[in-house]
């Protein structure tokens, strides 16, 4: 039996996946409303394939509760928020999960941390707390770091097929956890030490951030000298060893835009490309604003309330708005032009910004300039509805004549 702590974007699909593969699972979350919702048979967020997986897990007896249970293995998938100003991780949820586990766990239990943590967190914060409680690591309790790698939008498939990293203090413990994940994971499972596992996870997301920053810098260079960045990247990528990602309105989400800061914070002076990449990606929402401003000048447009941003989420076909480029753009707006932009996103039902629309046609009727910030399937399928509008396409999905690109 395993107890999964934290039933959010990572914990829930992971818990369901184990249960669907005949592992006895208890899912724990301190949010009673969320637990009640799961117990009433409803999933808590949209994700391809999650409904079917949920039904399988329920028929295999998965339980959801607000309590911690006594089991041999715990998997911790709680959030690790970071401080926007000092860019440091706040490990409070991971720490409180570990403390609660120590209250109930049997001797020799294994605690697997799946949450992304900045390199060194387990040594710096978790081991001291465990020791302070009088637990001997390796005997009374074992710590493992097994960072997740799944991507929102394709989580279920990736849970099964991605390879994984398991960081453990001993190969024996690593092997036990490898065997556990092999219940559903068909990818390679590599066993290493905990610090290497922590660092590798952050390096993976940093690599992607730097690659996107390169694409964004190329977009700016090409715009300044009237070259087509998309065509250039397309051709360059035909080289067998080149794989440049796509430019866009910025980098959002809770991972790629956050993790590189851990390295910058911990290794100032050494993390130079990493810092430059972060700055370039963070500059993109304001760059989009600048483009809007220039296009308005070009077209003799003065009324900002006739400008509409399509998309509020951090990427296509998800309902997650954390650190989204559109939110970053709206935040930086006051520095440049007066507010008043209209915003619409089919996935965001709650009212989270001013002038937010919930109907695509109504939104389109009330704007003259549409800025495509997110390439949701909805707009890809209905691109013809944009005919007659002034369009700024930051995602390169629209081939209506006269469309402005990034």
Burial class (CB in 10 A: 0-12, 13-18, 19+), 385: middle
Residue with tokens 């810092």: 275
User: Shortest approach of ligand SAJ to residue 254 CB, angstroms?
Assistant: 7
User: Shortest approach of ligand SAJ to residue 295 CB, angstroms?
Assistant: 20
Q: Which two three-digit tokens encode residue 325?
A: 């480029």
**Which CB sits closer to ligand SAJ, 43 or 246?**
246
**Which CB sits closer to ligand SAJ, 78 or 109?**
78
**Which CB sits closer to ligand SAJ, 48 or 169?**
48
User: Shortest approach of ligand SAJ to residue 198 CB, angstroms?
Assistant: 12
Q: Which two three-digit tokens encode residue 140?
A: 């009374």
**Which CB sits closer to ligand SAJ, 173 or 255?**
255
64, 98, 143, 176 from 110: Cα distances, Å: 20, 11, 6, 9
User: Shortest approach of ligand SAJ to residue 151 CB, angstroms?
Assistant: 4
DSSP string, 230-281: HHHHHHHTTSTT-------S---SSSTTTHHHHHHHHSTTT-HHHHHHHHHH
DSSP β-bridge partners for residue 110: 73, 142
**Which CB sits closer to ligand SAJ, 57 or 406?**
406
DSSP β-bridge partners for residue 73: 2, 110
User: Shortest approach of ligand SAJ to residue 328 CB, angstroms?
Assistant: 10
Q: Please report, as ranges, the residues that interact with ligand SAJ according to CB under 6 A.
A: 116, 148-152, 204-205, 208, 212, 245-246, 248, 251-253, 255-256, 314-315
- CB neighbours (10 Å) of residue 16? 30
User: Shortest approach of ligand SAJ to residue 251 CB, angstroms?
Assistant: 4
Length of the chain, please?
406
User: Shortest approach of ligand SAJ to residue 362 CB, angstroms?
Assistant: 26
- Rg of the chain (C-alpha set): 23
Q: Which two three-digit tokens encode residue 265?
A: 């914070």
**Which CB sits closer to ligand SAJ, 6 or 71?**
6
Give catalytic residue positions. Answer: 201, 255
**Which CB sits closer to ligand SAJ, 102 or 343?**
343
How far apart are alpha carbons 3 and 26 in whole angstroms?
A: 5
DSSP β-bridge partners for residue 63: 26
What single-letter DSSP state applies at residue 384? G
369's CB contacts (< 8 A; 6+ apart) are 292, 295, 296, 299, 301, 306, 307, 308, 389, 390, 391, 392
- CB neighbours (10 Å) of residue 108? 12
């Amino acid at each position: 039996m395993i107890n999964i702590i934290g039933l959010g974007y990572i914990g829930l699909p992971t818990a369901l996946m184990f249960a669907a593969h005949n592992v006895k699972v208890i899912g724990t979350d301190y949010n009673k409303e969320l637990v009640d919702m799961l117990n009433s048979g409803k999933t808590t967020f949209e994700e391809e394939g999650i409904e079917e997986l949920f039904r399988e897990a329920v028929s295999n007896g998965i339980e959801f509760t607000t309590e911690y249970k006594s089991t041999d293995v715990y998997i911790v998938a709680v959030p690790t928020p970071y401080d926007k100003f000092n860019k440091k991780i706040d490990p409070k949820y991971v720490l409180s999960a570990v403390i609660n586990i120590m209250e109930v766990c049997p001797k020799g239990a294994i605690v697997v941390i799946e949450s992304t943590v900045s390199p060194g967190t387990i040594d710096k914060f978790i081991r001291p707390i465990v020791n302070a409680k009088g637990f001997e690591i390796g005997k009374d309790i074992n710590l493992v770091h097994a960072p997740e790698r799944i991507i929102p939008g394709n989580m279920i498939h990736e849970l099964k097929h991605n390879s994984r990293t398991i960081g453990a203090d001993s190969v024996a413990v690593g092997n036990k956890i490898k065997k556990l994940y092999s219940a559903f994971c068909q990818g390679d499972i590599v066993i290493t030490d905990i610090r290497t596992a922590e660092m590798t996870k952050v390096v993976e997301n940093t690599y992607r951030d730097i690659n996107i920053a390169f694409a964004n810098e190329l977009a700016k260079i090409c715009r300044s000298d009237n070259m087509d960045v998309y065509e250039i990247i397309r051709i360059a990528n035909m080289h067998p060893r080149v794989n440049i990602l796509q430019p866009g309105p910025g980098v959002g989400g809770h991972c790629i835009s956050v993790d590189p800061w851990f390295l910058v914070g911990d290794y100032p002076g050494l993390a130079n490309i990493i810092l430059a990449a972060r700055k370039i990606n963070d500059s993109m929402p304001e760059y989009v604003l600048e483009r809007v401003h220039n296009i308005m000048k070009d077209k003799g447009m003065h009324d900002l309330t006739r400008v509409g941003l399509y998309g509020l989420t951090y990427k296509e076909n998800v309902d997650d708005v954390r650190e989204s480029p559109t939110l970053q753009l709206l935040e930086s707006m006051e520095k440049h032009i007066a507010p008043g932009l209209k915003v619409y996103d089919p996935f965001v039902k709650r009212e989270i910004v001013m002038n937010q629309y919930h109907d695509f046609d109504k939104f389109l009727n009330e704007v003259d300039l549409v800025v495509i910030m997110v390439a949701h399937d909805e707009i890809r399928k209905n691109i013809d509805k944009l005919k007659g509008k002034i369009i700024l396409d930051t995602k390169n999905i629209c081939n209506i004549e006269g469309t402005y690109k990034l």
